[in-house]
Amino acid sequence: MRRVTLFVNGTSKNGKVVAVYGTLSDLLTVASNKLGIRACNLYNGKGGLIDDIALIRDDDVLYVSEGDAFIDPQSDGKTSDDISGSHTDWLTLNIGGRLFTTTSRAAILYMHIFIFYILFFMQNSHPPEDHSPLSRKEFVRFLLATPTKSELRCQGLNFSGADLSRLDLRYINFKMANLSRCNLTYANLCCSNLERADLSGANLDGANLQGVKMLCSNAEGASLKGCNFEDPSGLKANLEGANLKGVDMEGSQMTGINLRVATLKNAKLKNCNLRGATLAGTDLENCDLSGCDLQEANLRGSNVKGAIFEEMLTPLHMSQSVR
């Protein structure tokens, strides 16, 4: 696998190392995402325009432009045409959506303004370096800038209180992220990684949680009414060791779900489909399981003290529980 180092045209700082794969268009898409610009052209260190991905070698240093001519990072803002002496006396720049025509004497000044604009855009198109929560607007921008085949890594990010409702969040890595008090109603979290994430007080009503990974996550006090954990392909949702104290999961589809050694104390699971679920060692104290389907569920070693088993859809056999 080849890898290259990408810089914004005219700079030699804040480079990004990326893998080279697919077509030249794929590499330009990755460059746009990594550098925060709309990548149009690639140049090598000598100012040569690269028009075929086969011309790129391992460990090449490439410069990415938005359609402007190559700028040597050591030439004080001059373009490749300026350096060769073949450039005309007039230069047209597009800065902030406005066209400026100027002589070459003022080119350096305007080019510095142009570079400042690019750097300002890059700074404002990446997650904040502090721990302040990301807004819906900022996160949607990241989603739109990420190719559909690329995994979006949000590990450890702070989304506390954000409105992420009805968004397509499939396959995103939210491991150890702060999603407390988030609005995730009707969001598509299919196969996302929420391991050790903080979902306390979050609203996930109607969310698609097929094949989700929520090992040791904290969803205390969250609302998960009408959620779908059941993947038709057979991939089982994994909530092993999760803290689900006081959650409201009424009416959720949880066939085959793994809730081993999870804590569901005082939780509401009325009318849930828990057929074939793994509830071994689970704390179900004072849990409302009325109207549930627990056929073939594994309740061995679970704590069912004070649990409500009224109006069960299927009989609960003694072999399913030893306490």
Query: Are 230 and 114 part of one and the same domain?
Result: no
Using 50 as the pLDDT threshold, list the residues of the chain that sit under it. Answer: 80-91, 93, 95-103, 125-128, 318, 322-323
And the tokens for 127? 């997650």
User: In terms of Cα–Cα distance, which of 121, 154, 164 is closest to 32?
Assistant: 121
Looking at the fold, whether 111 and 184 belong to one and the same domain comes out as no
pLDDT of residue 172: 93
- Between CA 274 and CA 280, with CA 275 as vertex, the angle to 5 degrees is 70
Whether 267 is covered by a domain: the verdict is yes
pLDDT digits over 119-135, tens only?
555 555 444 455 688 89
Q: Is residue 94 part of a domain?
A: yes
As beta bridge partners, residue 196 has none
Convert the pLDDT of each residue in 83-101 to its tens digit. 444 444 444 545 444 444 4
pLDDT on residue 99 = 47
pLDDT in tens, 186-229: 999 999 999 999 999 999 999 999 999 999 999 999 999 999 99
Are residue 265 and residue 153 in the same domain, yes or no? yes
- Mark whether 51 and 158 lie in a shared domain: no
Place of tokens 């097929």: 210
Residues 29 and 99 in one domain: no
Residues 255 and 316 in one domain: yes
Give me the pLDDT at residue 78, please.
52
In a domain, 261, yes or no: yes
Q: Tell me the residue range of the domain where 221 lies.
A: 135-323
Please give the angle made by the CA atoms of 137, 143 and 148, to the nearest 5 degrees: 165
Tell me: do 295 and 150 sit in the same domain: yes
CATH code where residue 296 lies? 2.160.20.80
What CATH number has the domain bearing residue 16? 3.10.20.230
Q: What is the number of domains present in the chain?
A: 3
74 found inside a domain: no
- 213 and 97 in one domain? no
Residues β-bridged to residue 228? 208, 253
How high is the pLDDT of residue 77?
52
The pLDDT value given to residue 105: 53
Q: Are 91 and 191 found together in one domain?
A: no
Same domain, 252 and 191: yes
17 part of a folded domain: yes
Rounded Cα–Cα distance for residues 103 and 288 (Å): 78
